[in-house]
Amino acid sequence: MTMSEQASYPVDETNRVKRRHDRGRYDHATVHALLDSAALGHVAYVIDGQPYCTPTLYWREGTTLYWHGSSASRMLRNLSEGEPACLTVAQLDSLVLARSGFHHSADYRAVMAFGHARLIEDQAEKAHALTMMVDRFFPGRTATLRPTTAQELKATAVVTMEIEKASAKIRSSGIVDDEEDYALPTYAERIPVRTVLGAPEPCSRLVAGTSRPATLASYSAGRLLEDALTDAYAMSYPAG
């Protein structure tokens, strides 16, 4: 086991799982695996006392998170100078129908990551981030694209946040009823939920002879999206 696999985020009242603490995980390996298997996160922050929560694509490098948006974005303007923020990610694994309303539930995997977000001003750092904004999901793709224009660079902002604290919460127990309720003639079941990729749909205006890159092989019909994203991350960040 590597040092990174053994490492854990510090735990305090901010990130401690308070209800069903047995489902809580704080180790880097669990938290990072969940972050890397998803693409869409939700960033929570406060502007003038009003809470907001914005969906965004994000990616991870080590213990640092990145996300991007329009330079005119209210979220990015607010999170530009070390403001506190929380990024959350969740995977829904099943719907659970039990023998009582109280025990109806869902199996899930979720992460909350806390830190202080800042806008990337350094141009070299921003250029790297904008490359990985694409290559994290589609390894090596930026090198095949036309160069980004100065106007596109100006119109795009990138935020970075060191993960100061984080927690994962996982429920995978399926149907759990009170012991006496198992004798009831009530139907119960677990309904698995998966996000599965469909068949690729090439652009109708492709130049003749343009073929699909081999690096997109992970994104094939029938695969789980989380598996494809995990594979893409491993290709772009082989060191983890």
| 82 pLDDT above the threshold of 50 | yes
Q: What is the rounded CA–CA span in Å between residue 85 and residue 67? A: 12
Q: Is residue 74 helix, strand or coil? A: helix
What mean pLDDT do residues 144-173 have?
92
pLDDT of residue 2: 47
Q: What is the rounded CA–CA span in Å between residue 172 and residue 155? A: 42
pLDDT of residue 1: 40
| 217 pLDDT above the threshold of 50 | yes
pLDDT of residue 20: 80
Cβ contacts of residue 11 below 8 Å, gap of 6+? 26, 165, 167
Q: In which residue are the tokens 């086991």 written?
A: 1
Instruction: Please report how many Cα atoms fall inside a 13 Å half-sphere around the Cα of residue 187, on the Cβ side.
Output: 1
User: CA torsion, points 195, 228, 62, 171, in degrees to nearest 10?
Assistant: 30
Q: What is the rounded CA–CA span in Å between residue 125 and residue 111? A: 26
| 128 pLDDT above the threshold of 60 | yes
What angle in degrees, to the nearest 10, is found between the helix axes of 225-236 and 28-36? Answer: 110
Closest CA to 87 of 64, 112, 110, 60: 112
Q: What is the rounded CA–CA span in Å between residue 116 and residue 164? A: 8
Closest CA to 166 of 239, 87, 234: 87
Q: Quick check: 22 and 176 in contact, CB under 8 A?
A: no
Q: What is the rounded CA–CA span in Å between residue 237 and residue 132? A: 10
pLDDT of residue 71: 61
What mean pLDDT do residues 167-181 have?
95
Q: Is residue 57 helix, strand or coil? A: strand
Per DSSP, 34 falls in state H
Whole-number average pLDDT of the chain: 91
User: CA torsion, points 70, 74, 77, 81, in degrees to nearest 10?
Assistant: -130
